[in-house]
Amino acid sequence: MKFVSTRDSSVEVSASEAILQGLAPDGGLYVPVSFPSLETLNVYEVSSYPELAFEVLAPFFEDDILKDDLAEICIDAFNFHVPLVELHEKQMVLELYHGPTAAFKDFGARFLASCMEKLLEKQQRKLTILVATSGDTGGAVAAAFANRKGIEVKVLFPKGRVSKRQQQQLTCWGGNIKAYEVDGSFDDCQKMVKDAFMDKRLSKEWGLSSANSINLGRLLPQMVYYVYASTLYKETYGTKPTFIIPSGNVGNSCGAYWAFSMGAPIERITLAVNANKTIPDYLRDGEYKPRPSVATLANAMDVGAPSNMERLFNLYGDIATFRKMVSATSVDDETIKKTIREVYQETGYVMCPHTATAERVRRDLPVQDDTIVVSTAHPAKFEAVVEPLIGKSVPVPENLASLLSKRSEYKSVGCNYKELFEE
Ligand SMILES: *Cc1c(COP(=O)(O)O)cnc(C)c1O
């Protein structure tokens, strides 16, 4: 399988090339030239999640230098469980938060890290990954790359602007993960990363690379759980489910659309967003207007200019097709709170604010049967929001708890990127 840029389909690269490059040279995002059909694959006969992942992803790595490593990469990356639980009959929740940092980003970050480690080993090269984070992304990337050979990660976070638990998850790794507390804002952190990449000499000398959510290596594994949950649902109930996905940069939902393009038994895909309404407004007005983000309780979805929209436009270019394939509904903070309380009182199930956004959209559908709400984070990560609403504490899962007890270490720096490279 070859991949092309969303802005220029004349230059084709392999999966590995796309993964190492991150962004295409013309600034576009990499997308597959076509989608293999699930019908030709063995997805109904596998006995474990990593095996299913291998079956689904193999066609994308068919002619790639990682072809023979893919099975091992899948076993290494997907070493946690992926439960599809029933909230009411035929109303399911797909829990994507059982990885090391208790959020769905572990799927993409771990797969990317495992691919990169193998590639560098083959090419006898070293890389330095720079990440600026406002909180969660940096933690998933740090966890996924910890102890990987040939890769050093530099994580930048803005001083005093990440939560205590988030800071702990960025600074507890040691070894090949270096954390920097920047005396500035998240924008300053992003600017330092940009400046470092612009410094061609330094960029080459350190082998700078990025691991952000537009990297193809993070997108591809996000198809697999949609194939998994939809085939499991269809086998159980005989009908196709509709997925409702809490969305920000729409990387997660893009995975669902790609799974749909492969022929996964999916009825419909619906995006649930917070007060950042860029996509619902586009569906209403037919005019796409990215904008600055506003802060909400579901803060991992506070995105006004969703970066993966370029991939969705590549699939469904004109507004008529887009409207046919995509629904999106916005949920405000008060309604998120109300939903967390309502679900807990009714079922005893505790949802994070992101998951509650999707649950609200389900509850407002005319028919709730045959739906799967995608749960993107463990509620204990957002205890300050969730606990007062349900009136009790949320136990911290073991994987998170073990991170919280590690020793924290970081370097304080100003806003000049050169400080990141002084040893
Ligand atoms: C990143 C994130 C999202 C949004 O995912 P996108 O791929 O950016 O749409 C939703 N929920 C949680 C908990 C996240 O961390």
- Could you tell me if the CB of 128 is within 6 A of ligand 1? no
| CATH (residue range 81-103+217-395) | 3.40.50.1100
Planar angle of CA 301, 161, 416, nearest 5 degrees: 110
Q: How far, in Å, from the CA of 301 to the mean position of ligand 1?
A: 6
pTM: 0.95
- Are the C-beta atoms of residues 301 and 354 closer than 8 Å to each other? yes
Terminal alpha carbon distance of the chain: 41
CA-closest residue to ligand 1 atom 2: 300
CA-closest residue to ligand 1 atom 15: 300
- Could you tell me if the CB of 362 is within 6 A of ligand 1? no
pLDDT on residue 212: 81
Q: Three-state DSSP class for 395?
A: coil
pLDDT on residue 176: 97
- Could you tell me if the CB of 247 is within 6 A of ligand 1? yes
Q: Which residue has the tokens 């009411």?
A: 88
Mean pLDDT (10-residue bins), the chain, 423 residues? 95 94 89 95 88 97 97 97 96 97 94 96 92 84 95 94 86 96 89 89 90 91 98 96 97 98 98 97 97 90 92 96 98 98 98 98 97 97 95 93 92 96 86
> What is the dihedral angle through the alpha carbons of 184, 190, 193, 197, rounded to the nearest 10 degrees?
-140
pLDDT on residue 65: 97
- Could you tell me if the CB of 99 is within 6 A of ligand 1? no
Q: Using DSSP, how many helices (H) and how many strands (E) does the chain show?
A: 18, 14
pLDDT on residue 23: 85
- Are the C-beta atoms of residues 234 and 363 closer than 8 Å to each other? no
pLDDT on residue 134: 76
* Residue 246 Cα: closest atom of ligand 1: 10
Q: How far is CA 280 from CA 195, 248, 367, in A?
A: 34, 12, 21
Q: Give, to the nearest 10 degrees, the angle between helix 105-123 and helix 70-77.
A: 140
* Residue 247 Cα: closest atom of ligand 1: 9
pLDDT on residue 396: 93
- Could you tell me if the CB of 376 is within 6 A of ligand 1? yes
Choose among 33, 32, 28, 23: nearest CA to 6.
28
pLDDT on residue 163: 80
* Residue 355 Cα: closest atom of ligand 1: 11
pLDDT on residue 11: 86
Q: Name the amino acid, one letter, at 268.
A: R
d(C-alpha 27, C-alpha 341), whole Å: 43
